[in-house]
Amino acid sequence: MYEVEIISSFSAAHRLRQYKGKCEHLHGHNYRVHVTARASAPEVDGMVIDFAHLKTITDEILERLDHHFLNEIKPFDEIEPSAENIAAFIFREVELGMKDRGPLLYSVGIWESDTSVARYIR
């Protein structure tokens, strides 16, 4: 099995509505985003997927979140903007962006800090 990973980031504010504790208050994170794709064999070009292509797709989605208050934008106006939900949202959007290569997408990890990550895995 081969796995490729790109790393990107965005900054955003959020507050967790259903949570009692520090994170119920408005605060921000510099989120780090790890996106991985897997395949049992590379294509004839020797790649699972072009890093640049995967990075471009991911960054177009992150652009929609960057420097926003996540609670005010879809789908986080209705669901909690937790790292888990952000990971699942980015996974779905990247998969759509990958079109026919979407099945290669394996996981999206959202790092809220250097020590805390939530991953959505296919």
| Residue 99 in tokens | 């079109």
Instruction: Verify whether residue 3 is a known catalytic residue.
Output: no
The answer to whether the CB of 33 falls within 8 A of the CB of 62 is yes
Map residues 4-23 to x or -, x wherever contact with Zn ion holds by CB under 5 A: -------------------x
Q: Which is nearer to Zn ion, 28 or 103 (CB)?
A: 28
Residue 21 φ then ψ, to 5°: 150, -165
For 82, which DSSP code?
Answer: -
How many residues line the site for Zn ion (CB under 5 A)? 1
Binding site for Zn ion (CB under 5 A): 23
Q: Which residues are catalytic?
A: 23, 67, 112
